[in-house]
Structure formats: structure tokens, C-alpha cells
Amino acid sequence: MSSEEALAAIRPKLAIALDVDDLILARRLAASVSDYFGVAKVGLELFSAAGPEAIGVMQDLGMDVFLDVKLHDIPNTVGKAARVLGALGAKYLTMHARGGQDMLLAGVEGLNAGAEAAGLDAPIGLAVTVLTSDAGAPAHIVPSRLRVAMESGCGGIVCAAEDLSDARTIAPRLVRVVPGIRPEGVAADDQARAATPQVALDGGADLLVIGRAVTAADDPEQAAANLAFGLA
């Protein structure tokens, strides 16, 4: 496999976390890494600042969008919000698994309905199991939330790398998204359950979410290139 083919294979598995409140800065960061990262994560901060425009800007760069708003409310409210968000063209959208099966089911149905009305493919609903910043969750929580995600029709889950074994066993058909990624030598910061990119991929991750290791680097483009080619 050539280096170009290897990069093409790894690019869709890398998401850049655009945790900023300025769309111009977010676009600049995304553009600088878009040759190496195929997915732009638009989180609550950026979406609150820029709204749906942020999704279109990232798509114009040739990137898929991971809308990380972590919906969590009563099922009726989540369903209605998901219907709106499902029409925006994102590829992934997060909901908190702790909201329960009825809430997740309402979210999935809302995403499907919104996308259908807009003539788009439905976003993959991702159930967030336990945050990578949370080191104190009881051992039974992740398996329980994985089962809820499966039973509610979610297309994927968000989990720490250390939970990938449970995810492969309990929810093998679901897309596995892993945040808290820190390359060797990069500080974990607030990520209590961080992992290196290679460890996460070897554990079965389908999508790695990487932020400060690239966005806070002196040269984000070079940091992105080094990371991508190191995995390709």
C-alpha cells in the first residue's frame, strides 16, 4: 500500500476537536488539518457560538461533521431537538446514554425523521457511555449503557479506550468512537482515562477524537501530519 493509500485509509478515522467559540478560528484550524483528518468535531461551545453554519463550513472543507452536543433531556424534548439537528447534514450526533432507553430511542427516531424530511442520510446516533474525564464510574455502568445503546437503536457509542473490550463484546455492531486521545509525550490534562492513538486503534476504535495534541501545537498542520502518517 502506498503512503497516499494508507493516508486515505486512516483519514476517515481521525476527528479534530474544534473546542473553540470562534468560527473563523475553527475554520482555520480545520483547514490546516483537513488533508489528514476527515472529521471535524463541532462541540457545544462552537455550536452555541456559530450554530448550524459551523456544519456547512466544515463540509465545504471536505470534512464530515461530528456534532457533539450530548443531548440529555426528557424523551419528547430530545426527540424534537434531534429532528431539527438531523436535518443539518452532520454524520454523527451524541446523546447521553444515562438518559435511558426511551430518551435514546426518541433521539434516534428524531434524527431519522429530520434527515428524511431534508432528503439527507440520517446522522449516526452515538450514545455517550462514561466521559473520559470521569475515573470514578462503577464497573457496571459502561456495560449497562452499552446494552441500552444497542436496545435503543443507536448506531454507535462513545467510550474510553479501556472500555473497548466491553464494547466489542456487548455491542459489536456499533461504531466505536474514542475521545481522550493523547499521543506519547503529550499531557493528559483533564482526561483521566486517556490513551494513545495506536492503543485505541488496536483496541477496536473506529474513530479517534483528538484535540489539544494538534490544535494547541506550535504547528497544528505538522502535528496532524505526524500523527496521521504515524498511524497510516
71 closest CA partner among 89, 96, 50: 96
Please indicate whether residue 91 is annotated as part of the active site: no
For residue 114, the SS3 value is helix
**What is the pLDDT at residue 33?**
98
Would you say residue 87 has pLDDT above 60?
yes
Q: Report d(CA 202, CA 218) in Å as an integer.
A: 28
What tens digit of pLDDT does each residue of 167-179 get?
999 999 999 999 9
Q: What is the mean pLDDT of the chain?
A: 94
Q: Report d(CA 184, CA 213) in Å as an integer.
A: 10
For residue 13, the SS3 value is helix
**What is the pLDDT at residue 232?**
82
Cβ neighbours of residue 92 closer than 8 Å, sequence gap 6 or more:
39, 64, 65, 66, 67, 68, 123, 124, 126, 156, 175, 177, 207
**What is the pLDDT at residue 130?**
87
Would you say residue 219 has pLDDT above 80?
yes
**What is the pLDDT at residue 2?**
85
Would you say residue 137 has pLDDT above 80?
no
What is the reported pTM? Answer: 0.94
DSSP 15-67: EEE---S-HHHHHHHHHHHTTT--EEEEEHHHHHHHTTHHHHHHHHTT-EEEE
Would you say residue 75 has pLDDT above 80?
yes
Would you say residue 147 has pLDDT above 60?
yes
What tens digit of pLDDT does each residue of 10-61 get?
999 999 999 999 999 999 999 999 999 999 999 999 999 999 999 999 999 9
**What is the pLDDT at residue 132?**
64
Identified catalytic residue from 13, 41, 70, 91 = 70
Would you say residue 183 has pLDDT above 70?
yes
**What is the pLDDT at residue 182?**
86
Delineate the domains of the chain, giving CATH numbers in brackets: 3-231 (3.20.20.70)
Would you say residue 126 has pLDDT above 90?
yes
Distance of CA 202 to the CA centre of its chain: 18
Residue 131 binned pLDDT confidence (cut-offs 50, 70, 90): confident
Q: Report d(CA 117, CA 224) in Å as an integer.
A: 36
